[in-house]
């Protein structure tokens, strides 16, 4: 477990600013997504609701993380003094337990798959994501190197399953999407995988020689950057996908209506 006593005043203030920035990004993303929900077709509004819910949950937890950070230590006569309240790292894992499965579900919903495929993929991917977070927590709060390494390995098993499903399992479903959104959906899936790959790397930092205040700065900043990319940036991609798919669906309806109109028009006989 990382100890706050090793922080310098500058490091303590920097991390506090990182948490504040994370809160601002999540809050603004939530407002944007929910306010723009009406600009997409009804079929994609549930995906938008869940997208905003993800950033709203993350924003709430960043507020709690920041308050816990401020309560765990204080600055006095140029030194960081631990108050004894402790910094609650569980807030991150509660957030991930709720938001990580939802991130996968919002991508599946915006793809507008069949009901059976949507349910099946949501349960499998959401369950694997929850298991990954649960397995990672004991190592995060442990002061034992062996324990941290063991739970990192265990958490990587469902993580690799998710990566396989995102890269290979969704390939056929992405291929059936409208041409104008195939690239965006593929980019969203890759973004999710790449940003999530950042978490196990940050998780390992205390095990590769980075210690003291530098380790705390690296871990908390790394997790925050990964959160912003996988939630706020991902939310903007989901919004763009929903907008383009709405336009594609509308063009398809117009073309179908025009086709039916031509079929109903009687053909005049030439005298």
Domain that holds residue 235: 4-245
Mean pLDDT value of segment 182-189: 88
Q: What is the pLDDT of residues 121-139, one digit of tens each?
A: 889 988 999 999 999 888 8
Residue 258: inside a domain: no
Residue 256: inside a domain: no
Mean pLDDT value of segment 4-22: 92
Residue 254: inside a domain: no
Q: In the prediction, which pLDDT does 271 show?
A: 47
Residue 270: inside a domain: no
Residue 266: inside a domain: no
**pTM reported for the whole predicted model:** 0.86
Residue 263: inside a domain: no
Inter-residue contact 119 to 96 (CB < 8 Å): no
Q: What is the pLDDT of residues 197-206, one digit of tens each?
A: 888 888 887 7
The number of domains in the chain is 1
- CATH for 184: 1.20.1070.10
Residue 231: inside a domain: yes
Nearest C-alpha neighbor of 47 from the set 129, 115, 120, 108: 108
Give the CA dihedral 43, 45, 48, 53, nearest 10 degrees. Answer: -120
Mean pLDDT value of segment 105-118: 86
Residue 252: inside a domain: no
Q: How far apart are CA 202 and CA 265, in angstroms?
A: 66
Beta-ladder partners of 75: 80
């Amino acid at each position: 477990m990382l100890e706050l006593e090793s922080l310098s005043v500058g490091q303590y203030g920097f991390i506090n600013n990182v948490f504040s920035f994370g809160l601002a990004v999540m809050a603004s993303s939530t407002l944007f997504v929910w306010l723009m929900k009406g600009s997409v077709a009804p079929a994609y509004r549930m995906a938008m609701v869940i997208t905003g819910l993800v950033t709203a949950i993350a924003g709430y937890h960043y507020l709690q993380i920041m308050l816990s950070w401020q309560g765990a230590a204080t600055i006095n006569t140029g030194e960081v003094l631990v108050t004894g309240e402790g910094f609650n790292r569980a807030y991150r894992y509660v957030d991930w337990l709720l938001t990580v499965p939802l991130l996968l579900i919002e991508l599946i919903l915006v793809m507008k798959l069949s009901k059976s495929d949507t349910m099946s993929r949501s349960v499998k991917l959401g369950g694997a994501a929850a298991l990954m977070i649960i397995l990672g927590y004991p190592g995060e709060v442990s002061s034992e190197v062996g324990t941290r390494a063991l739970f990192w390995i265990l958490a990587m098993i469902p993580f690799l399953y998710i990566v396989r499903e995102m890269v290979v399992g969704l390939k056929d479903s992405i291929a059936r999407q409208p041409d104008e959104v195939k690239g965006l959906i593929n980019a969203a899936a890759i973004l999710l995988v790449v940003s999530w790959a950042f978490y196990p790397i940050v998780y390992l930092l205390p095990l590769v020689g980075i210690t003291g205040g530098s380790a705390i700065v690296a871990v908390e900043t790394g997790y925050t950057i990964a959160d912003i990319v996988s939630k706020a940036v991902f939310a903007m991609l989901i919004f763009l996908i929903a907008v383009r798919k709405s336009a594609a669906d509308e063009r398809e309806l117009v073309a179908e209506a025009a086709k039916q109109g031509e079929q109903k028009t009687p053909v005049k006989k030439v005298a």
